A and B are shown apart, each in its own frame.
Chain A
Amino acid sequence: MSQEGIKHEMPEQDPIERINNFDEVALGYDEETAIKEAKRCLQCSNPKCKAGCPVEVDIPGFIQLVAEGKFEEAAKKVKEKNNLPAICGRVCPQEDQCEAECVVGIKDEPVAIGRLERFVADYTSDNEEAKEIQQDQGKVAVVGAGPSGLTAAADLAKMGYQVTIFEAFHKPGGVLTYGIPEFRLPKEVVKREVAKIKELGVEIKLNQVIGKIKGVDELFEEGYDAVFVGTGAGLPKFLGLEGENLNGVYSANEFLTRVNLMKAYKFPEYKTPVYVGDKVAVVGGGNVAMDAARTALRLGAEESIIVYRRGRKEMPAREEEIHHAQQEGVQFELLNNPTKILGDEDGFVTGMECIRMELGEPDDSGRRRPIPIEGSEFRIDVDTVIMAIGQSPNPILINDTSKLETTDWGTIITDEETGETTKAGVFAGGDVVTGAATVIEAMGAGKKAARSIAEYIDNR
C-alpha cells in the first residue's frame, strides 16, 4: 500500500515505558502532520462523515481549515457543534462513526478525523476569549455533570438559558473523570473543557445527589422551567457467582473510581487505597475492561488477563484499545466464562474457576451466542478479579421521582427524537436512557434534548 493510502501515525509513548506511568499514551499530531493528514480529505460535496457524527460536526469544513493551516478557525468550526472536542478527539469510537463513513476509507484508510479533532481542540486550548451571553430565556436544571449533561448545559447556555448542573461527586465530568483513565484521557483535558462550559455561564453545584438532597419536583418548585436527567449508568453489574464478595473482587467502577477520581495510583500521597495483586483477571470485553486491565498493569500487577466469553471479533472494545492493551502485555483468555471465584480462609481471592465456551447461533445482539462446553472447567490462579460486565442506570433519582417511567432494564423511557420523558418538563439522555454506551452518543442525546428543552420552554 502506498504511503498516501494510510493515516498518518500519531506518536505514542513506548509500551515498555508507558506501563510504568499514567501519562497519556497517544501524543497527538504536530502542525505539519495535521496539515498533511487534512489534505487527504477529498472534500466530498455530499459528506457522509458528517452524517456519521452524533453531534453533527461540519467535518469537511474544519478539515479544510486545518489543511490551510487555519487552526484557530478550524477549532471554532468544531466547537459550533461540539462542546467537548478535546475529549471526543480522544475517546470517540470514530472508526464506527465519522471515519466509518469516510469515502477515502473505501479504497484506503479513512481520514483520521478523530486525531484532527483532537489536534485543533488542543491547539486552541489556552487562547480563547469568553463572550458574555444574556441568560434570560429560562432556567434549566441539569442532573449529572457527565458527557450528556455537560453538552446539554453548554448548548442551552449558548441559547441564552440559565443552567445549573447538579453533580453527585466532588468533581465534574462523570465517567470522563471517574471512569476513563488518565493515560487515555488526562484529567487536565476534562478540567479544561469543563472550565470552558463554565465560562458560558453554566453553574456547577458539586456534592449534590438529586433524589436525596432534593427531588426533581423540588427543582421545579425552586423555579426551574425544565430538568435534564443525565445521571448515567452508575450501577455495576455482577455475575452473581459464588465468591463474588471476597476481598479482591472489584466492580470496574470501584476499581477505576479509586484510581481515576481518588488518585489511588498516587497512594499513599493520596489517601485512597487500591488493591492490586500479582495476577489480575478482568472479566468483560469492552473499553472499560481494557481500561481496567491496563490500569492494573500500571499499578504493578505482573499479569493482567482479560477473560471474555466470546471471541476476539465479538469484543465490544475499540480496536485501538485492544491493540494498546496487547502492546502493553495484557493477556486474553477468550471464549471463557467465570463460574466461581475461589478464596482463602481470610476471605481473599486466590483463583477463579472458568468454563470454556463455543459460539452458537447469533442472539438478539446479532453476535454469536456463547455456549459453555460441558466438563471444560479449569482454574486460573489470580488474586484480583475485576468485573467489567456493564452497568445499569443509577436508580436514586428515578426511584425518587413520580411519573418517570422506566423500562424493564431500569432505563428511563424517552421520546427518541426529543428526549422527553413521561413526566412533563423532564428530559433525559445518555446512559440513563440507553444503558451503558459511548461518550459521543451521550453527547448527541444531550444535544437533542437541549433543543427540545428550548422549544418546550419557549412554547409554554
Chain B
Amino acid sequence: MYRILDKEVIAVKIVKLKVEAPEVAAKAKPGHFLIVRVNEKAERIPLTIADYNQQEGTVTIIVQEVGFSSRQICNLEVGEGFLDLVGPLGEPIKTEGYNKVVCIGGGLGNAPLYPKAKSLKEDGTEVVSILGAQTADKLILEEEFDEISDELYMATDDGSKGHEGFVTEVLEDLLKQEDDFELAIAIGPMIMMKVVSELTAKYSLETIVSLNSLMVDGTGMCGGCRVTVGEETKFACVDGPAFDGHLVDFDEQLRRQQFYTDQEEEVKQCQHVGGEHQCHKKE
C-alpha cells in the first residue's frame, strides 16, 4: 500500500494528499503524472504530481471531488492509502532557458501548474502568475504561488477575490502592456486552455497546455488518450500530457471528455440506492 502521510483540505471539496512513494519521488519532474487505484474495484485515476520531496520520499497530489472516484480518493484519511500507485509517467516539461514566463491556472489546474512555476523560478526565470477559480473559497495554492511568483494576479467568476471575471481577461491586459513574455503555460479546464491558446496565438506567444485526457494504463498501451496536435494523433500519456496549445484540437478534446458522462451518472446513482452490490444485481 502507498500510505497517505498528510492530508489537508485546501478549499471546498479539494484536498491535498502527501503520499509515501520514495521511488517515484526520486524520479519526479515538473509535468509528470501518476496513476492511482484506491482498491480492487476502483478505476485507475491519472493525477498530476503537484509537488514532490526526494528527502521525505513523498509525492503530493491535489484532488477535487467531482465524481465517485475522486470522492473516494478525497475520503481517504492519513494512515490509509492507495492499493496501487504507478509513476512518474508522461514527459516532463522543459523549464530552463526562459527569462520571463506567464503561468495561468484555472481551478484544480493550479495544482499541476505549481511544480512547473516553481521549477521555472528555481531556474532564475521571472514568473508572472494568474490564478483563477469560480469563487474565492475554491481558489487553491495562493500562498505557494505568492512565494514563487514575481507578480501574482487572481480572478474569480463572482469577484470574491481579485479580478471579477476570467483569467483570460487578466492575461489580455498583461499581454497588451508587456511584450517580453517568452512562454505561457496554461493549465485548467479544457475550455480555459482553449481560450488562452486562442488569445496567445494573436500575440504569437508560445503556449504550453496540459491535457487531463481519459486514460487507462498511462504507458501508451490503450490509446484512449488520443489527441490531435497539428495534423498528428498523439497519446497524452506518453507524448504529453503537455502540448503546444496552438496546435491542440480542443474541440475534439472537449467532446472526448463527455464520453463516459452517462456511466459516471450511473455510478453516482448507484451510491444513493444503498451500496454498490445492490444496484448491480440483475433482475
What is the interface of chain A, defined by CB distance below 8 A to chain B? Answer: 168-170, 206-209, 212-214, 234-236, 238, 240, 244-248, 250-251, 253-254, 257-258, 262-263, 266-273, 275, 346-347, 394-396
The answer to whether B85 has its CB under 8 Å from any CB of chain A is: yes
Write the chain B residue with the least CB distance to A269.
Answer: B280
* Interface contacts beyond A247-B259, A251-B224, A258-B222: sample of 16 additional A-B pairs, CB < 8 Å, sorted by A: A170-B37, A170-B84, A170-B86, A206-B84, A207-B84, A213-B23, A214-B23, A234-B219, A240-B233, A245-B228, A250-B224, A253-B221, A258-B216, A272-B216, A273-B266, A275-B259
Given contacts A209-B89, A254-B216, A258-B216, contact A271 B42 (CB under 8 A): yes
18 examples of A-B residue contacts, CB within 8 angstroms: A208-B23, A209-B218, A212-B27, A212-B87, A213-B23, A213-B88, A245-B252, A254-B216, A254-B223, A257-B221, A257-B222, A269-B276, A271-B43, A271-B69, A271-B267, A273-B264, A275-B263, A347-B256
Contact with A along B66-79 (1 / 0, CB 8 A): 00110000000000
Given contacts A170-B86, A247-B256, A268-B279, contact A253 B267 (CB under 8 A): no
Q: B270 — which chain A residues lie within 8 A by C-beta?
A: 268
Q: B259 — which chain A residues lie within 8 A by C-beta?
A: 247-248, 275
Given contacts A212-B89, A268-B267, A272-B44, contact A251 B255 (CB under 8 A): no
The answer to whether B164 has its CB under 8 Å from any CB of chain A is: no
The answer to whether B226 has its CB under 8 Å from any CB of chain A is: yes
The answer to whether B27 touches A347, judged by C-beta atoms less than 8 angstroms apart, is no
Partner of B220, one of A213, A270, A394: A394
Nearest CB on A from B85, distance (A): 6
Docked Cα-Cα span, A206 to B228, in Å, equals 32
Docked Cα-Cα span, A158 to B208, in Å, equals 51
For A213, A253, A268, A395, which residue has the most chain B Cβ atoms within 10 angstroms?
A268
Q: A254 — which chain B residues lie within 8 A by C-beta?
A: 216, 222-224
Given contacts A273-B260, A347-B252, contact A213 B24 (CB under 8 A): yes
The answer to whether A234 touches B23, judged by C-beta atoms less than 8 angstroms apart, is no
Interface of A, helix, strand, loop or mixed by DSSP: loop
What is the interface of chain B, defined by CB distance below 8 A to chain A? Answer: 23-24, 27, 37, 41-44, 68-69, 83-89, 216-224, 226-228, 233, 238, 252, 255-256, 258-260, 263-264, 266-267, 270, 276-277, 279-280
Docked Cα-Cα span, A274 to B43, in Å, equals 11
Partner of B223, one of A207, A253, A273: A253
The answer to whether B220 touches A235, judged by C-beta atoms less than 8 angstroms apart, is yes
The answer to whether A262 touches B216, judged by C-beta atoms less than 8 angstroms apart, is yes
For B83, B259, B264, which residue has the most chain A Cβ atoms within 10 angstroms?
B259
Docked Cα-Cα span, A207 to B43, in Å, equals 15
Partner of B85, one of A169, A207, A346: A207
